[in-house]
């Protein structure tokens, strides 16, 4: 450090007790002692002083140097001792504005459960840093504390004692907040200390900042831990029908930099392990594990994918539900009262709520609630039914089977499709194999060879070219097409037109067609970021609300409409797991709640990346401290000034020691 810089450093100091500087007058005492030697000189005579005179000259030079060094040590020792009593400190670089108020944001998301290099967690270090803030500022300072829960506690500034009590009760929150969410929550014009791990996957876009907002970014650096989590799940057959075989495909992701070998993945249904598999996953990649679901599963099932991935554990379980309990509602509209093949297919009362109407006696009010409406072999559609079907095909699944003597003009308003009669062949023509990967045909047959016997048919009506038809004749013309929610068959289900209704393909196709239109299909799982959840609830009486019962019992905001309950999930009160949807003593269903997948990507922004993303400088700064104590020292130095009396006292002792050493060893 140059003398000019040292002088500037001294000039920047101010003293808490400047009156003690009058004591600097004591520096005159050693100077006076040095200038005046009060010892009496004794003269000694020698006969020959030539040699003594030479020795005396050398000794006098050494004595003068020693006295000069001792004087300097004494002066500096006294100088810094006086400075220590005056308590100097460097001026603060920042000021507390907004009536001595400080805002603190503590990121308590699930990623903050990551361990630090020691035994503590990132959230523990964050709360310690917040405590250092409380200790750094004056006692009358008030604090606004914001967490991911956005709890009412953070609405108004609180005292130090209230905040200390709040810090002792902070728990992890499953709610993920972006930078924009937190900044909108920070409403006070006060310095904001942002204590977070600055997770790259959840930070989001940084909004433009007002130059008057003072923001201090405080990164909590946890190790780059590897993490395995469930990326997605899917059912091989999305149409869950009791008794059908099905498989669950689970995609696991390794977000770490090291490969994972021999990871044991378990499937639990209603608390019992039903399957397990071992899998290896390369670094920064995914792998899929498959579980076969038993065919006799029924009712409402709570399922968990579980594995052990140390040390990150908040996403080691993935919750979902399988609901087989609801019956499929199927309505058939037919020409005559005779039993039909459609009625035979849906005769299973355990799976289907089947109703058959003649065209002249249809209860139109029930059509809207049906999962599948089958218009079967009507030669003519009357205007009233045509009007209802025209509106129904926008929301409901409809299978249209023409009559043997079709009135195409009456079909047009109901179906919205331009049809024309076909003078087809007299003999039935075999159908081409369908796309076996289509959900309506997937896994229907075990052997998908080209020689597989297919049903045959001939076209009675035609609607043009359809290359994506579900079933085609050998010549490529469509026999069964899907047009939105409408499925159109080219011939009646009668002998002489087709044998599709007698083929083994017919029953599973009709089952899946009914299931595809299910009106109250519930999601396998929800995340904590989900806003609205719909539960089917027929005939709820009274004004008593629906409740969620899990780790705690909650009454969410809700409304009832069309035999459904639409609930708003209380994000800040939920934790991952299962919640029973209760109305009085009845269980309407189960909700499976999982943490947001973004929380499982643990990579955090570096200090340089934080500064670049936030455009740090001026009113936005990064406070990079290795631990909570170092952070507290930086805050005190920036806002209260840096006390220097300890250094002054240390220097006074050092120069006092230098004086003793000079007197003892300088010969």
Domain ranges of the chain: 9-91+644-665, 101-224+602-640, 228-318, 328-516, 526-594
The SS3 assignment for 553 reads strand
**Does 432 or 573 have the greater pLDDT score?**
432
131 φ/ψ angles, rounded to the nearest 5 degrees:
-65, -35
**CA–CA distance, 653 with 111 (Å, rounded to integer):** 49
Write the CA distances from 255 to 50, 281, 290, 601, integer angstroms: 91, 10, 20, 6
Q: Is the pTM of this model over 0.85?
A: no
Structural contact between residues 199 and 231, judged by C-beta atoms closer than 8 angstroms: no
Structural contact between residues 592 and 569, judged by C-beta atoms closer than 8 angstroms: no
Residue in 123, 103, 135 with CA at minimum distance from that of residue 170: 123
CA of residue 24 relative to chain centroid, distance: 63
Predicted confidence (pLDDT) at residue 561 exceeds the cutoff of 50: yes
Structural contact between residues 510 and 502, judged by C-beta atoms closer than 8 angstroms: no
Give the confidence band of 426 by pLDDT, cuts at 50, 70, 90. Answer: confident
Classify the C-alpha dihedral 405-410-414-420 as positive or negative: positive
Side-chain-side CA neighbours of 13 within 13 Å: the count stands at 20
pLDDT digits (tens, 9 = 90+) for 380-394: 999 999 999 999 988
| Burial of 192: CB neighbours in 10 Å, binned 0-12, 13-18, 19+ | buried
**CA–CA distance, 241 with 157 (Å, rounded to integer):** 56
Give the confidence band of 98 by pLDDT, cuts at 50, 70, 90. Answer: very low
Number of H helices, E strands in the chain: 14, 34
CATH of 328-516, one of 3.40.50.880, 3.40.605.10, 2.60.40.10, 3.50.50.60: 3.40.50.880
Identical fold, 101-224+602-640 and 328-516: yes
pLDDT for res 164: 93
The label of the residue with tokens 């405590």 reads 131
Predicted confidence (pLDDT) at residue 599 exceeds the cutoff of 70: yes
pLDDT for res 217: 93
Q: What is the mean pLDDT of residues 27-35?
A: 77
243: left (phi over 0), alpha (psi -120 to 50) or beta: left
pLDDT digits (tens, 9 = 90+) for 619-661: 888 988 888 888 888 887 777 666 777 778 888 889 888 888 8
**CA–CA distance, 284 with 256 (Å, rounded to integer):** 6
pLDDT for res 125: 92
Average pLDDT of the chain? Answer: 83
Structural contact between residues 279 and 263, judged by C-beta atoms closer than 8 angstroms: yes
Q: What is the mean pLDDT of residues 454-476?
A: 89
**CA–CA distance, 77 with 236 (Å, rounded to integer):** 84
Architecture of the domain spanning 228-318: Sandwich (2.60)
Q: What is the mean pLDDT of residues 130-158?
A: 89
CATH domain 101-224+602-640 topology: Rossmann fold (3.40.50)
pLDDT digits (tens, 9 = 90+) for 437-460: 888 887 777 666 666 788 999 999
pLDDT for res 230: 95
pLDDT digits (tens, 9 = 90+) for 304-361: 999 998 888 889 999 999 877 567 889 999 988 888 999 999 988 777 889 999 988 8
**Beta pairing, strands 215-219 & 192-196:** parallel
């Amino acid at each position: 450090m140059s003398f000019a810089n040292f002088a500037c450093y001294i000039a920047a100091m101010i003293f808490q007790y400047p009156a003690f500087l009058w004591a600097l007058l004591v520096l005159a005492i050693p100077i006076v002692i040095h200038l005046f030697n009060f010892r009496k000189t004794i003269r000694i005579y020698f006969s020959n002083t030539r040699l003594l005179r030479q020795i005396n000259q050398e000794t006098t030079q050494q004595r003068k140097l020693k006295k000069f060094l001792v004087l300097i040590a004494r002066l500096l020792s006294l100088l810094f001792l006086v400075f220590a009593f005056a308590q100097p400190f460097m001026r603060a670089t920042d000021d507390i504005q907004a009536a001595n108020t400080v805002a603190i944001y503590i990121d308590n998301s699930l990623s903050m459960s990551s361990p630090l290099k020691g035994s503590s967690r990132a959230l523990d270090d964050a709360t310690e840093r917040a405590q250092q803030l409380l200790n750094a500022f004056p006692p009358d300072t008030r604090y606004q504390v914001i967490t991911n829960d956005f709890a009412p506690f953070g609405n108004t500034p609180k005292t130090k004692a209230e905040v200390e009590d709040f810090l002792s009760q902070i728990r992890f929150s499953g709610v993920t907040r972006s930078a924009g969410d937190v900044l909108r929550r920070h409403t006070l014009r006060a310095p904001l200390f942002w204590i977070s791990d600055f997770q790259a996957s959840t930070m989001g876009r940084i909004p433009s900042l007002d130059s008057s907002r003072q923001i201090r970014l405080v990164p909590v650096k946890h190790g780059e831990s590897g993490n395995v989590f469930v990326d997605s799940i899917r059912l091989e057959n999305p149409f869950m029908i009791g008794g059908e075989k099905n498989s669950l495909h689970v995609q696991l992701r390794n977000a770490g930099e090291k490969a994972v070998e021999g990871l044991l993945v378990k499937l639990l249904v209603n608390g019992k392990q039903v399957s397990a598999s071992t899998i290896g996953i390369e670094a920064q990649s995914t792998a899929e594990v498959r579980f076969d679901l038993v065919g006799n599963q029924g009712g409402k099932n709570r399922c968990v994918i579980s594995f052990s991935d140390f040390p990150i554990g908040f996403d080691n379980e993935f919750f979902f539900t399988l609901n087989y309990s609801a019956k499929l509602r199927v309505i058939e509209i037919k020409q005559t009262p005779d039993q039909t093949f459609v009625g035979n297919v849906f005769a299973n009362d355990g799976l289907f709520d089947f109703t058959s109407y003649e065209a002249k006696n249809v209860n139109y009010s029930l059509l809207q609630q049906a999962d599948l409406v089958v218009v079967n072999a009507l030669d003519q559609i009357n205007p009233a039914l045509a009007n209802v079907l025209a509106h129904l095909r926008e929301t409901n699944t409809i299978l249209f089977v023409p009559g043997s003597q079709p009135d195409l003009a009456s079909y047009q308003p109901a179906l919205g499709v331009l049809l024309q009669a076909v003078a087809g062949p007299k003999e039935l023509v075999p159908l081409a194999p369908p796309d076996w990967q289509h959900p309506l045909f997937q896994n229907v047959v075990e052997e998908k060879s080209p020689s597989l016997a297919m049903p045959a048919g001939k076209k009675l009506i035609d609607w043009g070219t359809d290359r994506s038809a579900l079933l085609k004749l050998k010549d490529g013309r469509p026999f069964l097409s899907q047009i939105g929610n409408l499925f159109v068959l080219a011939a009646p289900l009668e002998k002489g037109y087709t044998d599709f209704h007698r083929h083994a393909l017919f029953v599973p196709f009709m089952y899946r067609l009914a299931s595809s239109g299910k009106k109250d299909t519930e999601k396998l799982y929800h995340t904590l970021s989900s806003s609205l959840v719909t539960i089917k609830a027929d005939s709820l009486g009274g004004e008593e609300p629906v409740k969620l019962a899990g780790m705690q019992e909650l009454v969410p905001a809700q409304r009832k409409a069309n035999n459904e309950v639409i609930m708003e999930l209380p994000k800040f009160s939920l934790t991952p797991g299962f919640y029973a949807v209760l109305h009085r003593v009845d269980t309407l269903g189960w909700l499976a709640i999982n943490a947001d997948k973004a929380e499982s990507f643990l990579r955090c922004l570096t200090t340089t990346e934080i500064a670049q993303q936030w455009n740090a400088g001026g009113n936005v700064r990064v406070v990079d401290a290795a631990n909570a104590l170092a952070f507290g020292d930086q805050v005190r130095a920036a806002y209260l000034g840096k006390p220097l009396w300890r250094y002054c006292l240390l220097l006074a002792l050092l120069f006092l020691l230098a004086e003793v050493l000079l007197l003892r060893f300088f010969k």
